[in-house]
Structure 1
């Protein structure tokens, strides 16, 4: 392999590595299978959603039907209480209107209430209660004096139709439900209350005849939450009520059915229905129902159908893609990678049994690869010829400069004037700097880039060896960072260095400590936006020593080379040292041309 081919191979390998590194920095693309799976999922998602919605709707309808059934059942369970309370309220309303025109102690009043008790055998007591709790007109035929109670006082303070439960039964000596109806005179004045009572045991017997099991629980209560009757013992009534609501909070919602925990911690299904709107309500409860028969299976089936469709579609799509797309694309990718990494082209087509579109792509790739291979071979030959020509040019320029330096050396030995010999010596130094630059370009493996740090080191050491005297030892200090730049910048930088070092050697003097030194520093400012390069050349001088003025040839050349570099130039004298500081931006790297 010739040098041009070797250089081109290195460039290709370097660009391949850079491309791979850039690829890893970016997010890895999704595979084709992942994309297809996502598309199938989106396509079948509406089917799954519709199936789930339909199943959910069916379950909601079943739940609504169940709640309606519980409400109807609650109405049937509360039928004895409903009939008894409504009958008592109607009778009380009618008798109160009749008593409005009768005297409480008259025989007509007594006869009316006794006849009413005979026609209503369920009523255990009917009486007209006057203020103070005295009943002179009642179904018992005698005067009854009732003990004052909080409920009675509240009724006289705020007359209204009332319902209450008396566990002891002051007249009947048995638990009774009491209905109270205000009796008013024609002028609206309150005369007293008509009080009806019927035994609670009668309601229990009626419920037993309906045949409800022990799991059904019933509570009737007033609008303010006071309990009238319950299907369980009085001590356990609180345990069968809903845990999160009071009875008075259930009144405003009308008929309703809901599931909740009771205060005993059991899951129950509750139903509330009005018995006498605004007066009495019934709350029934049953053990909470579990899932409807087949409910779980129905819900799972609604999900399994779209899932099964998705799995089958995905399996078919994966097998088809693997056989018809991925396998041929994998073979084509391996062929392309082999060509990209090693420039190897498959001898024969590998997609002979694939789709026509993929075969067309493979044929196009083979033609493209052959064209690229031929073009790269031509480019490598041209690059090699150009580099050989450039190396020959730099070599000849270097030899010609050395020849001119030798001729000038011969002329210097024949010159009699010290000024002429010094001028010729200055020209020789400048020619030596140019020869060093061309020598570096000739020896560099990359003709387009030059190591500025090694170039400056060689130029400075060569001039220091020629210009330092034996009686004044010169200490050289180098701090050179590795910097690579274009030849168009390296040449003026080397010449600027040569002029600055020549001036430094001309004016170097021992400092306060008696030492002569020359320091050269080359740095790159990575923090700067343009990555500026800074060159500093400083030498020791005696305190109060004078340096070359701005009109000297060396200073003029330094400014000219700095202008050529588009650099900023500073020359400072301080603390026994003289410094030349040059700062410039590196030129952007140019591409390799054929």
Structure 2
């Protein structure tokens, strides 16, 4: 069967057999299919885990925002209260401007009744303090600055380490004052010392877990810090300016501070549009970071891989292991015809049925092969017996012919009977070699030719004449269909060589037989050449006056035709040679009889 047909048949029976060898394995295929089946579940699990983690982070963000609001509740209450007080003063001051002394007395009472305020006053558009709790009549601001604060309808909250109004660091709350026609006439200022906010927080006892709670205004200027404003620059975000964090909604983000430490920042509006609170938190304390996400995502992935590993181990344990055992049994049986018996107690029922079927098949094959060997042995014995009987019968015919030669009166009759006897002995030699051969389908042509040529040379000895006989052969195996015509042709050619042997000018007359192999041609077939040569000159054997029948030449041509070869005959320089060149043939089926015959033979 052609190899390409077997390859196509294997590919049809085993899909993917022509693909990658590793992917053709049952365990790998099953793991791939199971992995694809479980992949949607794994993806859904990872997505759900992502949602849970995101929701947890959102809740943490909300909690952090709430903590930030709770931590800045004191600041918010104080600053909101002071902004409300500044708004109230801004509304009532236009009516107090007629009597500045009464206005200043009102400011003094306000500072005295409100412990967290250390200054209250009104500054006109020129920068002069018109009325206040202290320093009335002084120039506390430049005219352009005073005009700017007077035109600011929203008001402002600023921090000042030292001002013309107060010597201590304070938070300044300013609010524009307008007359009845809504024209700016100045602005009111309230000053809150830093320690007033800290004192309020200590009284309420609010405790937070933040690294720092920082209050800053809309311009991004820090106002209040739990840790202190001296080192506030090291704690604020390195990649975001405070002025860009002013938003009316709370935000949470992760960034590095200017000292290179990773932090979580929360921003909530303390006074929308004016004051904001920045909470600084430790990364390890609150939010789930990238490491938490990776660890959470790895768990369903590891579960998915573990399920594939369990499936592969299960398939290997239940199926592949037994299939490999069956494969070893098949290979052992194919190589040694020995049946391995495995313990099938833990084999699944389906595979056990396959193993039982294989055992029955191997037993039947062994029985069939034993019967076939017996039949072949009987056939060989019968064939050898046939060849032996044929050889005996041919020798009997040769003996009877020899008796007839002795009784013949005429030389021509003796010569014809002797030629017939040589042909019969040639056939007998072939049959003797066949029944003595170990393989009946092959004949050692070199042995056959050597034996037959010596036999003919011995029978052709001329009394009183020395004839040199040389024999050169190479090992050649032929099938009987070619060995028989080759031996018969040799008989005719050697007989003719001795019959027409001539005496050379120098030396003894000679006959040579050469059997050799030639180089293979492009078709790859082995070619054999047989050459029978003899010396020419005066005949060594006296030729009787008789007509040449030409039967020997006809027989040689017929035998060459049977061999499927090409004959040649040459005479040159005192040498006459006859040769044949043919290709070795193989056995083929005879379509008429169904028996085997060599493909190179033809009917004689």
Number of the residue aligned with 1:68: 62
**The 10-residue stretch of structure 1 (271-280 or 24-33) with the greater mean CA deviation from structure 2:** 24-33
Number of the residue aligned with 2:160: 166
Q: 1:317 to 1:39 in 2, by over 3 A?
A: farther
Equivalent runs, 1:108-123 vs 2, <5 Å: 120=114, 122-123=116-117
For 2:243, which of 224, 229, 248 is the aligned residue?
248
Answer whether contact 1:51 1:302 (CA < 8 A) is retained: no
Number of the residue aligned with 1:511: none
Q: 1:220 to 1:351 in 2, by over 3 A?
A: closer
Answer whether contact 2:118 2:192 (CA < 8 A) is retained: yes
Residue 391 (1) aligns with residue 479 (2):
yes
Q: For residues 395 and 161 of structure 1, what CA distance do their matches in structure 2 show?
A: 129
Q: 1:77 to 1:104 in 2, by over 3 A?
A: farther
Which whole-Å deviations, capped at 9, do the CAs of 1:545-570 have from their partners, x for residues lacking one? xxxxxxxxxxxxxxxxxxxxxxxxxx
Offset of 1:451 from its aligned partner?
Answer: 4.2
Q: For residues 405 and 245 of structure 1, what CA distance do their matches in structure 2 show?
A: 116
Answer whether contact 1:104 1:128 (CA < 8 A) is retained: no
Q: 1:88 to 1:237 in 2, by over 3 A?
A: same
Number of the residue aligned with 1:471: none
Answer whether contact 1:175 1:201 (CA < 8 A) is retained: no
Number of the residue aligned with 1:450: 525
TM-score by length of 2: 0.53
3-state SS of the aligned residue for 1:193?
A: strand
Answer whether contact 1:224 1:248 (CA < 8 A) is retained: yes
**Structure 1, unpaired ranges of 5+:** 1-14, 415-431, 467-490, 506-589
Residue 270 (1) aligns with residue 265 (2):
yes
Number of the residue aligned with 1:281: 276
Q: For residues 189 and 363 of structure 2, what CA distance do their matches in structure 1 show?
A: 116
Residue 342 (1) aligns with residue 417 (2):
no
Answer whether contact 1:104 1:136 (CA < 8 A) is retained: no
Q: 1:88 to 1:108 in 2, by over 3 A?
A: same
Q: For residues 145 and 353 of structure 1, what CA distance do their matches in structure 2 show?
A: 105
Q: For residues 262 and 129 of structure 2, what CA distance do their matches in structure 1 show?
A: 48
Number of equivalent positions: 427
Residue 134 (1) aligns with residue 209 (2):
no
Which whole-Å deviations, capped at 9, do the CAs of 1:309-334 have from their partners, x for residues lacking one? 8599669937xx64x65665455333
Residue 362 (1) aligns with residue 355 (2):
yes
Number of the residue aligned with 1:227: 222
Answer whether contact 1:163 1:180 (CA < 8 A) is retained: yes
Offset of 1:86 from its aligned partner?
Answer: 1.8
**Structure 2, unpaired ranges of 5+:** 1-5, 11-16, 381-438, 444-476, 503-512, 536-562, 573-585, 590-595, 597-604
Q: For residues 73 and 369 of structure 1, what CA distance do their matches in structure 2 show?
A: 83
Based on CA coordinates, which of the two structures has the bigger radius of gyration? Answer: 2
Equivalent runs, 1:139-538 vs 2, <5 Å: 139-140=133-134, 142-148=136-142, 155=149, 160-185=154-179, 189-212=183-206, 216=210, 217-252=212-247, 254-266=249-261, 268-290=263-285, 306=303, 310=307, 317=314, 322=317, 325=319, 328-345=322-339, 356-366=349-359, 368-369=361-362, 374=368, 377=372, 391-399=479-487, 440=517, 450-451=525-526
Q: For residues 408 and 105 of structure 1, what CA distance do their matches in structure 2 show?
A: 170
Number of the residue aligned with 1:486: none
Which whole-Å deviations, capped at 9, do the CAs of 1:459-486 have from their partners, x for residues lacking one? 9xx89x99xxxxxxxxxxxxxxxxxxxx
Which whole-Å deviations, capped at 9, do the CAs of 1:142-173 have from their partners, x for residues lacking one? 32311439965754687752221111242232
Answer whether contact 2:71 2:207 (CA < 8 A) is retained: no
Offset of 1:134 from its aligned partner?
Answer: 0.9
Q: 1:274 to 1:342 in 2, by over 3 A?
A: same
TM-score by length of 1: 0.54
3-state SS of the aligned residue for 1:145?
A: coil
Q: For residues 69 and 346 of structure 2, what CA distance do their matches in structure 1 show?
A: 78
Q: For residues 372 and 240 of structure 1, what CA distance do their matches in structure 2 show?
A: 89
CA RMSD of aligned residues (A): 5.9
Which whole-Å deviations, capped at 9, do the CAs of 1:55-95 have from their partners, x for residues lacking one? 66555554443432332222122122212222232333343
Q: For residues 408 and 291 of structure 1, what CA distance do their matches in structure 2 show?
A: 119
